Structure 1
Amino acid sequence: MKIAGVQIDVQLGEVDQNLQMIIKSLEETTAAGAHLTLFPECALSGYCFESRDEAAPFAQSIPGPATDQLTEACRRLDCFTVIGLLELEGNDVYNSAVLIGPEGVIGKYRKVHLPYLGVDRYTTPGNDPYQVFNAGGLRVGMQICYDASFPEATRCLTMLGADLVVLPTNWPPGAETTADYCINSRAVENGIYFMAVNRCGRERGFQFIGRSSICDPFGKTLAKAETRDVEILYAEIDVERARNKRYQRVPGKHEIDRLADRRPEMYIALTQPHGLSTPHAELKGK
């Protein structure tokens, strides 16, 4: 099947304008044969808010007005989409991503790892268990931006059966190496497709860097944005490649399976909260 990523220029606080741009782009990608289309982080609202009070009026419930309109578009176009938005629940504002199809909202994800940047300085950290969702036969896991810097998150989604992990982002200057190397690494180390879609344009002094990309289960780049401007990426994917974790490079002599070859009993340190792991002074050899 074909997937698409739309690198767009989001306008801060212009929810209706951004939504119409998203729907128009979705019409274009679906006409080109895309089964699923990914849009950037906070594509509905923009990102560089200076307080929770400033951001909250542009947050919506899920389901809500925007997801209702996107459901109608997905029903009309017979497609699936993932967009980033600010989600409002009670007094909490979350940086979220939502997967929508012809039947409505399929699932959502709340950003777990929050950097000290933009609206993430004021949002509530996500604490829902990782989940994988079915988008018309495609098993999709969601992350958001900074989450890609934590390989444990992608591994969790892989263990849950993801064929594709999508990463809506707002990469500013300084994130070039994340864009150029982390995405391919997350794909190859888990044997999955990985699609990261950044925004473009400028917002409150931040010039977003583009560099959206789609990678295959061997870490090969299938498509990459060539500019910092508006751009659409497409790639053909084969879910069976993502589901076959055993690679026979030389049958009987060189075979690997990055899931079966794991040693979870050796990873105890990963489960310790920050600051509670073995102090350097106590390490063997000191």
Structure 2
Amino acid sequence: MKVSVVQMDMLLAEPEYNFKHAEELIRKAAKDKPDVITLPETWNTGFFPKENLEKLSDKNGEKVKAVFGSLAKELNVNIVAGSVANSKDGKIYNTSFTFNRSGECIAEYDKTHLFTNMGEEKYFEWGKNVVTFEIDGVKCGIIICYDIRFLELVRTLSLQGIEVLFVVSQWPDRRLKHWQILNMARAIENQMFVVCTNSCGTANETKYAGHSAIIDPFGEIIAEGNDSEVILNGEIDLNIIKNIRDTINVYRDRNPKLYKIN
């Protein structure tokens, strides 16, 4: 599986510009003929404008589906379209949409852990569901930014059989080390590939870290960005998963009767 990671710099509260820019970057990434292209978190609005957020949000994902569903079909590529501020059912969600090569929306995930340090829960509704999907026959999972700190969520996805975890984010530069270590740890402890797509640039006073990466189940970095806008390309060899699980089978050796997590 060949993956192209779009580390995008977006403008805060400028969805019209951001949609156009995201499409430009997707088309540029598609020239390398990847199987999957990814975007970061809330790329339509940035993270996150507190004034007029509902007006700035997509409406039930309609524009994302129209633009990126059509793009996926036209370019014959799977698109993990990051996440967007998404207004539905009278509330605003931080929602990720994924499209297959036919342009069908095959996964919709609402962020389940909201970042209360920045008051995200005052503007967005908590997601309620864990989501998996298949890309070209490969079982995958999706989480959004702060979700990466909750190992229970990622282990739940891994126990459902995913081999690739997509992480879409707007992670700040001041916690870059956390971003790198947490993504690497989730890859190693769950013996799976992690494709983490972060934003870059500055919104208000927050500088975002970039350093998107593709990480293998051994924790080795296949590709990693810097702090500028860039498209990363990397190849995922799924045979590595079988190799490491045959060598160190943590799934066989788990002792779940000891684990009491509420």
TM-score between the two structures when normalised by the length of structure 2: 0.93
Question: What SS is found at the alignment partner of 1:207?
Answer: strand
Conserved in 2, the CA contact under 8 Å of 1:107 and 1:133?
Answer: yes
2:257 to 258, 265, 268: 265
Which residues in structure 2 correspond to 1:1-286 (within 5 Å)? 1-50=1-50, 54-82=52-80, 83-101=82-100, 102-116=102-116, 117=118, 119-128=120-129, 130-226=130-226, 228-242=227-241, 246-248=245-247, 256-268=248-260, 270-271=261-262
The one-letter code sitting in structure 1 at the alignment partner of 2:127 is G
TM-score between the two structures when normalised by the length of structure 1: 0.86
When residues 120 and 177 of structure 1 are mapped into structure 2, their CA distance, relative to the original with a 3 A threshold, is farther
Q: How far apart, in 1, do the equivalents of 2:103 and 2:170 lie?
A: 28
Q: How far apart, in 2, do the equivalents of 1:206 and 1:18 lie?
A: 18
Percent identity of equivalent pairs: 25
Deviations 1:1-44 (A, max 9, x none): 21011111111222122112112211122211211111110011
The one-letter code sitting in structure 1 at the alignment partner of 2:204 is R
* Structure 2, gaps ≥5 residues long: none
* Structure 1, gaps ≥5 residues long: 249-255, 272-286
Which has the higher Rg, Structure 1 or Structure 2?
Answer: 1
Question: What SS is found at the alignment partner of 1:139?
Answer: strand
Conserved in 2, the CA contact under 8 Å of 1:149 and 1:178?
Answer: no
The one-letter code sitting in structure 1 at the alignment partner of 2:141 is G
Conserved in 2, the CA contact under 8 Å of 1:48 and 1:118?
Answer: no
Q: How far apart, in 1, do the equivalents of 2:110 and 2:53 lie?
A: 16
Q: How far apart, in 2, do the equivalents of 1:28 and 1:173 lie?
A: 26
Q: How far apart, in 1, do the equivalents of 2:181 and 2:30 lie?
A: 29
Question: What SS is found at the alignment partner of 1:208?
Answer: strand
Deviations 1:66-90 (A, max 9, x none): 2111111110100011121012111
When residues 58 and 8 of structure 1 are mapped into structure 2, their CA distance, relative to the original with a 3 A threshold, is same
When residues 7 and 26 of structure 1 are mapped into structure 2, their CA distance, relative to the original with a 3 A threshold, is same
1:278 alignment partner in structure 2: none
The one-letter code sitting in structure 2 at the alignment partner of 1:242 is I
Q: How far apart, in 2, do the equivalents of 1:261 and 1:112 lie?
A: 29
How far the C-alpha of 1:61 sits from its partner, in A, is: 3.7
Conserved in 2, the CA contact under 8 Å of 1:245 and 1:258?
Answer: no
